[in-house]
Amino acid sequence: MKGSISPTVASSMSDHEKESTSTRAARKTKNVFQQVLGCFKKSDHMTKIKYKEHLIAKRKREFGVDYINLVQKNASEQELRQEKEGCLRDVDRLIREIKDLETKVERVDVETRSKIRREPSFSTPTIEETDA
């Protein structure tokens, strides 16, 4: 058909024509605000996660130094085992705390995504559909 517009072009044109420029700008501004707010809410948790990861690495280094010192002092198997178990307990506690923080970050992500307003979709017949 001469002069007919393809369905994809016609539908994309109608989507942008239906949402006014001011409405689209307001929606996008609110979405940016929600995303920034979500980033701020997550930043405290993310900082704590990085700090706890640092503490894990620090504790592992301390364990290595302490363990070597015990070996050099000819410590008993019991003392070596206690040192190892103490380190594992500390690292496990920090890992649990990190997982709790990651859960909080995920909740903030879900909350932020739920507040984002998507571009409305309009179902209008295309030119080819009305000619038939």
Select the more confidently predicted residue: 117 or 99: 99
Q: How high does pLDDT run on average in the chain?
A: 83
Predicted pLDDT of residue 81 = 96
| Interatomic CA distance for residues 28 and 40, integer angstroms | 18
pLDDT class of 22 with cuts at 50, 70, 90: confident
CA 129 vs. chain centroid, Å, equals 43
Predicted pLDDT of residue 128 = 55
Task: Give the N- to C-terminal CA distance of the chain in Å, as an integer.
Answer: 11
| Interatomic CA distance for residues 37 and 24, integer angstroms | 20
Select the more confidently predicted residue: 94 or 3: 94
pLDDT class of 25 with cuts at 50, 70, 90: confident
What is the chain's length? 132
Predicted pLDDT of residue 16 = 47
**Cα-atom radius of gyration of the chain, to the nearest Å?**
29
**pLDDT one-digit tens code per residue, 27-67:** 888 888 888 888 888 999 999 999 999 999 999 999 999 99
Select the more confidently predicted residue: 57 or 11: 57
Q: Dihedral (C-alpha) 48, 51, 56, 59: value to the nearest 10 degrees? A: -130
